[in-house]
């Protein structure tokens, strides 16, 4: 989701306050995005068995209030993998995200972003594998200062099908820093805590840490296409607290390079 930038210019020479035409934004702003990645990673874990993904989305922003809504879709493979690993048949090839919230300035250079995100997996049968339905709803809140941000997400449902995982939490600390020649440096450190139960007794089922360091650049002379490359990793080990992929004991959180090509229009 893109950060909201409110830009106004005051023309002191006029009796009334006027925003310069080149800086003014419409009250209602729509944008669309599309991307291809060699591996769809979410919170450090591959969602496509280390294979490519095609991703599309759309966003709406009401600039005067900071209210926004959007949707995003991608192909996935992890639900089928869950069935293969448990000797059952599971379906679910698409992740469809639907989100909305409000963002704006707090003052003193600080910004905020609060909202909700629903992860919808149409027709998923993850429950066949002994898990719950994969559909998940989270609330989130973010504080930003300059290029840095801290974001907290809290699951109000089971988290991606994990049994008794309501109230799982994710902590996200990062920064997007412009370096040279328009190259952006993206830094991220996250920590996922997954709630669960054993024999009916509530406990923390598992937690892990993920990280990412990446570079990206938008080429305006090439129709505004953005190229990105990042190294993504976690502290998960093979066979420990994470389901391997269906094509062998490949840890879904093992370190790897993610290459992307995207465009917003």
Maximum CA extent, the chain = 75
Distance (Å, whole) CA 124 – CA 121: 6
Note whether 90 and 125 are within 8 A (CB): yes
Which band of pLDDT confidence, cut at 50, 70 and 90, is reported for residue 34?
Answer: very high
pLDDT for res 7: 31
Cα dist from 97 to 31, 40, 116, 138, 146, whole Å: 16, 14, 10, 11, 27
Tokens standing for 22?
Answer: 């080149």
pLDDT of amino acid 243: 52
Q: In whole angstroms, give the CA distance from residue 161 to residue 157.
A: 9
In the block, residue with structure tokens 């190229």: 227
Segment 110-161, tens digit of pLDDT: 999 999 999 999 999 999 999 999 999 999 999 999 999 999 999 999 999 9
Query: Poorest-confidence range of 2-6, 137-141, 166-170, 186-190?
Result: 2-6
Considering the chain, what is the average pLDDT of its residues? Answer: 87
CB neighbour burial string for 210-228, b if at least 16 within 10 angstroms, e if fewer? bbbebebebeeeeeeebeb
Using only C-alpha atoms, what is the Rg of the chain? 20
How do residues 37-84 score in pLDDT, each as one tens digit?
999 999 999 999 999 999 999 999 999 999 999 999 999 999 999 888
pLDDT in tens, 235-258: 987 655 455 455 555 689 999 999
pLDDT value at position 12? 31
CATH 3.50.50.60 fits 28-264, yes or no: no
Assess contact for 258 and 41: CB atoms under 8 A. yes
**Whole-model pTM?**
0.86
Average pLDDT, integer, range 205-228: 94
- Looking at residue 197, what is its pLDDT? 57
Domain boundaries, the chain: 28-264
Q: What is the DSSP string of 166-182?
A: TT-EEEEEEEEEE-STT
Distances (CA, A) of 170 to 72, 112, 138: 20, 17, 10
Partners of 175 in the beta sheet?
Answer: 148, 187
Residue 229 CA to residue 221 CA, distance in Å, equals 20
Q: pLDDT at position 206, please?
A: 81
- Tallying the residues shown for the chain, one arrives at 265
């Amino acid at each position: 989701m893109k950060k909201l930038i409110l830009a106004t210019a005051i023309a002191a020479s006029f009796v009334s306050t006027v925003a310069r035409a080149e800086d003014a934004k419409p009250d209602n702003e729509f944008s669309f995005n599309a991307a291809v990645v060699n591996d769809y990673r979410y919170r450090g874990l591959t969602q496509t068995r280390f294979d490519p993904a095609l991703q599309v989305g759309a966003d709406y922003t009401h600039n005067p209030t900071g209210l926004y809504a959007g949707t995003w879709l991608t192909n996935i493979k992890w639900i089928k993998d869950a069935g293969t690993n448990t000797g059952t048949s599971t379906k679910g090839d698409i992740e469809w995200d639907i989100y909305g919230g409000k963002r704006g300035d707090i003052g003193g250079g600080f910004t905020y972003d609060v909202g909700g995100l629903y992860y919808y997996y149409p027709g998923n049968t993850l429950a066949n594998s002994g898990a719950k339905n994969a559909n998940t709803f989270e609330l989130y809140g973010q504080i930003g200062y300059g290029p840095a941000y801290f974001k907290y997400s809290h699951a109000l449902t089971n988290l991606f099908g994990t049994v008794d995982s309501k109230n799982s939490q994710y902590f996200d600390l990062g920064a997007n820093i412009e370096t040279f020649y328009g190259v952006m440096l993206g830094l991220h450190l996250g920590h996922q805590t997954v709630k669960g139960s054993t024999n009916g007794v509530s406990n923390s089922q598992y937690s892990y840490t993920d990280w990412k360091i990446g570079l990206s650049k938008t080429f305006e002379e090439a129709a505004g296409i953005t190229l990105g490359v990042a190294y993504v990793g976690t502290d998960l080990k093979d066979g420990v607290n994470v389901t391997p992929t269906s094509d062998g004991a490949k840890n879904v959180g093992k370190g790897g390079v993610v290459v992307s090509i995207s465009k917003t229009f």
